[in-house]
Structure 1
Amino acid sequence: MPLVATLAYLGDHSASDARDRVYSLLGLVTERDRRLVGNPDYTQSVEHIYARLVQSFWNEYHSLDIICFTHLFNRYAGNLDQSGDREAVPSWAPDWRANVQPSPVPLMASQSANRHIGNFRPMNSKKYKAMYNASGYASTPRARVRFHENLGEMWCDGVVLDYIDGLGGLDECATRCRSTACANSGHSMIQTTQTEKTFKENGKMFLKLLSAIARSLDLNREDKFLSYVAPNAYTSDFLVLCYACLNSDRDIDPLFETWWEQNKSLLLGGWTLEAIVKTVVNTQDQRLFAALPPPTFRGNPSQQFAGSDNTEETDCLIERFYDTVQKRSRRLMLTNNVYIGMAPCRARQGDVVAILFGCSIPLVLRRVGVREAFQVVGEAYVDGFMNGEVRRLLHRGERDIKKFRLV
């Protein structure tokens, strides 16, 4: 079994010596992953061993995807932040001491296509047909990854895609978040700073925005194992759910209704989400819906799918919505340039959305210190930038390559 997937899946297990969170798995993992760890060395600190695993992972697989696991395994995990006797692991190295509820596919980096990370989807699961690859193919040589000799810092090249401007709310959504950072700040909606309308009322434009939100809520995947691209019918599902909220339908899914109340006033280009939905669903131009297939669910979606823990590959937006919002604790994200996506629940306004070369998933980073340095906050889904599209921005001169110093 792949080491990283196994470490994550055993996230709620304990070890009397935190170094054994890694060493105890050597008999279970692949030979290639055993080389990453090497022989057990109890003279090294826990922090050094966890950081060295990231360095070894890069050297072996030429991938930075392991960094994505800091989204869950970090110093703000509820069982870690209360203890003052622990040395902090660098923000770019997963702190495997964190107590995290296991999940077969905990992160986007755990996608079925990512063989060096792996996941715990059923053995008879269909072959994957989709892959996140935000930095693009052949980006690894451009990464120029370097680690400080004490493994307290690392450097790599990438692109600042944008900055977070607005964040959707998650209060009362019963998320799995146990972060002490969120316990202090909460998950209330953070309104965008851009209140002026940046485009005219336009049904076609508004439907495009709603489609981007629908893709964000399901991470543009049809199934919880992230194997297939989401169908266009999920946009139809989203419109049906929003319409039910507008009309106070008694059959509306309770979690979606709560999410709607938290987010309906969020501004997108100066327009509230509620105003955008009303414009689309009340349009007299039937051509607007010509390309949309029928919704995937029939009858009451709440009764059919809400919060299901089934292990089958599913095909309805509401199931994916539960997975993204409640189980993964992701919140709707708007950037300065009105890029739409999903951010970690502990993201803040002003955080950087970056694509690091060698990492298949965009990351939310936070600038810290007098000398420019960044801490890793977690994964981000950015609609329209999950498959190497950032290369177009570089080619057109709209973005520059930046060296990131991660601490």
Structure 2
Amino acid sequence: MDLRFKYNPLNVERHEIRLLKLLSPGSGPSPAKSALVNCTLEHVSLDEIPEYQALSYVWGNPALTSPICVDGQIFEATFNLEAALRHLRKKDASVTLWVDAVCIDQSNNVEKSDQVQRMGDIYRNASEVVIWLGQTKQEHSKLWAQLKELSHLSAGTGALELNIDHLVDVDGKETRAPWLLGLNLELQKVFETITIGYSDEDTLLIEPLLKLLMQPWWSRIWVVQEASLAMPARVVWGSNEMYWGELWSALGYIATWLHFQSIHLMGDESYHKAFFSLERSQQFWVPLVGAWERVNRRSDDKKVKLIDMLLQTSVTSALTATDPRDRIYGLFGIVEDADELGIKVDYSQSVESIYEGVARALLRTEGLKMLQCCQYSARHRSGTLPSWVPDWSSSLRQLLDGLRILLPSGVYNASGLIDAREARELEKLKQRIGKLNFQDSPLSSQVSLSPDDSAATTLASEESKPGILPILAARVDSILAVGGAWEEANDAIDGHIRDMLWVEELEQLAEKSKGVYSEAAKDEALWRTPIADRGLPRLTYIWFTRATTEAMGHDVLMGRFPLDKIEEASRSFYYQKSRAYQKILRAFGKGRRFFVTQTGYLGLGPDSVEAGDEVYIISGASIPFVLRPTGGSRSYKIIGETYVHGIMDGEFMQKRPEMTTVDLC
């Protein structure tokens, strides 16, 4: 006997959707079912602009369900959805909602593909989006009031920008606007009594705040478009409510404060523990807060591109999707270049087929900088996904070029400038390039590379085989030895020790160097390599510039700066230098390890790097790559991007190395 809920089919030509009418308590088709949450479903056309609210929530464990009654039938809803519907229903009136788990027949891939394609319009046209964070304790209302107070700081300081630089210049220069320094004082007042645990005297309650920031809702890929398109959105956490704009502002201040405190940490041990816990929570909520800003605070002439949002939600992000295909499809409501890329929602395709199709489309539009998104994941290791296809279901951790990959040029320029002779040779090569072999690709009719595409200039001339991407590249060296992977610390003191020991590993590898650097260059490599030659942001919250004065921070960390000769009252400046250096180190060290090559180059590579891997510079890419030979004469897998000291600005390419064809598989 088939007990599944029976749906009536939607009329696609009328652009129909289903709406859920949530009935008041006690209503139901029979006394036995009146105790359940009771609803009815109706079909409406989006063209007729129906009135409804859209629900943004987390499904939760699909195996843990609670029955609700829909049109007299039993529907097994997840615990979290049943709790949300029970909370949102009204005593004396019905509530009309759009709820994906009920309004879409999840077992029908054709219908699901059509409805997901419409989800941007569904959330955009809703009279209100209700963001359900789940149930909470009554005492957490104090935190809610504190967050509202924090959000109101923006009234006196102007709109908050999440890309505010650290509030006091680590170089000791008062270059910040007076209002920004005033904001710091206000933030200090709010956060000065933050502690582990809570009491009546606490200004901000750390435990409920962490509970709020680590709610499952923050980690769901769909909430990016649901919160970004909502006008307005109401956040509901148990009995507590506020508008999303208020919560966004409060979280922006918290992010700013954390950025400041990571350099200028003050207070007692409990204060440090509170900061450390909050800093670790950022992977859950900062990507979503940043994505909202990217969509809603952009200039009108700039498109929201798929590559932008993929990076925003994948770099150091905890955003997940139950169905890995939704890492792509869950962003379609906000991206504006899906048609240009030729990508349609189609749940009949496999994950690997979708990811490869997206990779080929991005190669056409973004060029070979798309390869910087390739991190060697389990799908790559198993051979189900070509290594040159980014695995969006796996966190990209911290790309060395960060979100700078979105710009015409990144921070580095490993390929160097192409002189006139090389340009002529590449132009001849362009004329010989045929279409890449798109056999078995779902986007074969839409994303072939033409000889006029800029991405084509660095692809090999012969036609590729399925799953193979031929590129032109210069071999730098093979890897001789690798160090241990950087490990996350448990607290501030543990973090300091771990950072110091990790940097010592680079010094041990440097002893194997065979003279590729001068002594002065080797000393420079030892402090620049752990931070990938990057400095703290000066104008933006996200982008790290190239390093300038960070050598002092390295020396203080490693105990080589004569602090004993500095008056104790003046030492805080130098400790700040060390903390600034460590902040950069942790940003770029996560998921990475040091290595030394056969000729002595020192590098910072992905955690999957092994002795015997090779370093290549791909013509047209701004950063070197670690490639792994697969046994064929020119067949390699991409392990990931890498920092190699001494070749990041075209120095190696100035030697005019031989450019060879490499088959990426």
> Counterparts of 1:213-292 in structure 2 under 5 Å?
213-223=526-536, 225-231=542-548, 233-244=549-560
SS in 1 for 2:558: helix
> Once the 2 structures are TM-superposed, how far is the Cα of residue 194 of structure 1 from its aligned partner?
8.2
Say if 1:161 and 1:248 are closer, same or farther in 2 by CA, change over 3 A.
Answer: same
Deviations 1:322-372 (A, max 9, x none): 2222xx222222212222221112211121111111222111011113454
User: In the alignment, is residue 10 of structure 1 matched against residue 317 of structure 2?
Assistant: no
Say if 1:240 and 1:89 are closer, same or farther in 2 by CA, change over 3 A.
Answer: same
Show the counterpart of 1:112: 404
Unaligned runs of 5+ in 1: 118-129, 176-187, 250-294, 307-315
Show the counterpart of 2:385: 89
Residue in structure 2 matching 1:29, options 332, 335, 358: 335
Residue in structure 2 matching 1:390, options 652, 655, 659: 652
SS in 2 for 1:168: strand
Say if 1:25 and 1:349 are closer, same or farther in 2 by CA, change over 3 A.
Answer: same
1:147 touches 1:154 (CA, 8 Å); kept in 2? no
1:170 touches 1:189 (CA, 8 Å); kept in 2? no
Residue in structure 2 matching 1:340, options 581, 588, 602: 602
User: In the alignment, is residue 136 of structure 1 matched against residue 412 of structure 2?
Assistant: no
- Which amino acid counterpart does residue 165 of structure 1 have in structure 2? L
Residue in structure 1 matching 2:636, options 374, 380, 383: 374
Distance, in Å, in 2 between the alignment partners of 1:360 and 1:160 is 15
List 4+ stretches of structure 1 deviating above 4 A. Answer: 137-142, 145-151, 171-175, 188-199
SS in 2 for 1:375: strand
Identity of aligned residues (%): 25
1:165 touches 1:193 (CA, 8 Å); kept in 2? no
Residue in structure 1 matching 2:326, options 10, 20, 25: 20
2:513 touches 2:600 (CA, 8 Å); kept in 1? no
Distance, in Å, in 1 between the alignment partners of 2:514 and 2:600 is 12
Say if 1:134 and 1:37 are closer, same or farther in 2 by CA, change over 3 A.
Answer: farther
Say if 1:211 and 1:296 are closer, same or farther in 2 by CA, change over 3 A.
Answer: farther
SS in 2 for 1:10: helix
Show the counterpart of 2:661: 403
Distance, in Å, in 2 between the alignment partners of 1:25 and 1:375 is 28
Say if 1:153 and 1:35 are closer, same or farther in 2 by CA, change over 3 A.
Answer: same
1:135 touches 1:357 (CA, 8 Å); kept in 2? yes
Say if 1:352 and 1:296 are closer, same or farther in 2 by CA, change over 3 A.
Answer: farther
> Once the 2 structures are TM-superposed, how far is the Cα of residue 161 of structure 1 from its aligned partner?
1.0
> Once the 2 structures are TM-superposed, how far is the Cα of residue 87 of structure 1 from its aligned partner?
7.0
Show the counterpart of 2:233: none
2:379 touches 2:391 (CA, 8 Å); kept in 1? no
2:308 touches 2:406 (CA, 8 Å); kept in 1? no
User: In the alignment, is residue 70 of structure 1 matched against residue 362 of structure 2?
Assistant: no
1:166 touches 1:193 (CA, 8 Å); kept in 2? no
1:365 touches 1:376 (CA, 8 Å); kept in 2? yes
SS in 2 for 1:44: coil
1:146 touches 1:154 (CA, 8 Å); kept in 2? no
> Counterparts of 1:343-358 in structure 2 under 5 Å?
343-358=605-620
TM value normalised by structure 2: 0.40
Show the counterpart of 2:593: 331
Provide the aligned C-alpha RMSD in A: 3.9
2:615 touches 2:624 (CA, 8 Å); kept in 1? yes
Distance, in Å, in 1 between the alignment partners of 2:637 and 2:654 is 27
- Which amino acid counterpart does residue 112 of structure 1 have in structure 2? R
2:634 touches 2:661 (CA, 8 Å); kept in 1? no
Distance, in Å, in 2 between the alignment partners of 1:147 and 1:89 is 22
Say if 1:221 and 1:2 are closer, same or farther in 2 by CA, change over 3 A.
Answer: farther
Distance, in Å, in 1 between the alignment partners of 2:510 and 2:558 is 25
User: In the alignment, is residue 365 of structure 1 matched against residue 627 of structure 2?
Assistant: yes
- Which amino acid counterpart does residue 48 of structure 1 have in structure 2? S
- Relative contact order, higher structure (CA 8 A, sep 6+): 1
Residue in structure 1 matching 2:479, options 142, 153, 164: 164
> Once the 2 structures are TM-superposed, how far is the Cα of residue 171 of structure 1 from its aligned partner?
6.2
Distance, in Å, in 2 between the alignment partners of 1:148 and 1:235 is 48
Say if 1:143 and 1:149 are closer, same or farther in 2 by CA, change over 3 A.
Answer: closer
Distance, in Å, in 2 between the alignment partners of 1:94 and 1:29 is 18
TM value normalised by structure 1: 0.63
SS in 1 for 2:404: coil
Deviations 1:361-391 (A, max 9, x none): 1110111134541111111011222223332
Distance, in Å, in 2 between the alignment partners of 1:387 and 1:338 is 18
Between Structure 1 and Structure 2, the one with more helix by share is: 2
Say if 1:405 and 1:296 are closer, same or farther in 2 by CA, change over 3 A.
Answer: farther
Say if 1:330 and 1:18 are closer, same or farther in 2 by CA, change over 3 A.
Answer: closer
Say if 1:305 and 1:169 are closer, same or farther in 2 by CA, change over 3 A.
Answer: same
SS in 2 for 1:298: helix
Distance, in Å, in 1 between the alignment partners of 2:571 and 2:522 is 20
Say if 1:374 and 1:236 are closer, same or farther in 2 by CA, change over 3 A.
Answer: same
